[in-house]
Homo-oligomer: A and B are copies of this chain.
Amino acid sequence: MAKLGFVGLGIMGRPMAGHLIAAGHEVWLHSRSGVPDELKEKGGKPCASAQEVAQAADVVFLMVPDTPDVEKVLFGAGGVAAGLAQGKTVVDMSSISPLATKAFAARIAALGCDYVDAPVSGGEVGAKAASLTIMCGGTEAAFARVQPYFELMGKNITLVGGVGDGQTCKVANQIVVALTIEAVGEALLFASKAGADPAKVRQALMGGFAASRILEVHGERMIKRTFNPGFRIELHQKDLNLALAGARALGLALPNTAATQQLMSACVANGGAGWDHSGLVRALELLGGHAVAQG
Task: Please provide the chain A residues from 166 to 190 with a CB less than 8 Å away from any CB of chain B in the complex.
Answer: 168-169, 171-173, 175-180, 182-184, 186-190
Which of B173, B246, B260 is A256 in contact with, Cβ under 8 Å?
A: B260
Are B208 and A122 interface neighbours, CB within 8 A? yes
Are A252 and B193 interface neighbours, CB within 8 A? yes
Are B213 and A209 interface neighbours, CB within 8 A? yes
Give the shortest distance, in Å, between A292 (CB) and chain B (any CB). 11
Chain B residues with CB below 8 A from A226, complex form? none
Q: Does A204 contact B (CB under 8 A)?
A: yes
Q: Does A287 contact B (CB under 8 A)?
A: yes
Are B176 and A179 interface neighbours, CB within 8 A? no
* With A180-B212, A212-B213, A288-B251: A196-B173 Cβ-Cβ less than 8 Å: no
Chain B residues with CB below 8 A from A203, complex form? 158
Mark contacts of A184-216 with chain B using CB atoms, 8 A cut-off: 1 yes-contact digit, 0 otherwise: 101111110111110011011101111111110
How far is B248's CA from A271's CA once the two chains are assembled, in angstroms? 28
* With A158-B200, A183-B180: A210-B259 Cβ-Cβ less than 8 Å: no
Interface residues on chain A, size class: 35 or more
Mark contacts of A246-262 with chain B using CB atoms, 8 A cut-off: 1 yes-contact digit, 0 otherwise: 11001111111101100
Are A187 and B201 interface neighbours, CB within 8 A? no
Are A207 and B252 interface neighbours, CB within 8 A? no
How far is B180's CA from A165's CA once the two chains are assembled, in angstroms? 23
Give the shortest distance, in Å, between A49 (CB) and chain B (any CB). 33
Are B184 and A168 interface neighbours, CB within 8 A? no
Chain B residues with CB below 8 A from A135, complex form? 204
How far is B189's CA from A246's CA once the two chains are assembled, in angstroms? 12
Give the shortest distance, in Å, between A188 (CB) and chain B (any CB). 7
Are B196 and A168 interface neighbours, CB within 8 A? yes
Q: Does A237 contact B (CB under 8 A)?
A: no
Are A175 and B164 interface neighbours, CB within 8 A? no
* With A190-B175, A213-B212: A253-B287 Cβ-Cβ less than 8 Å: yes
Are B207 and A160 interface neighbours, CB within 8 A? no
Chain B residues with CB below 8 A from A213, complex form? 208-209, 211-212
Give the shortest distance, in Å, between A288 (CB) and chain B (any CB). 4
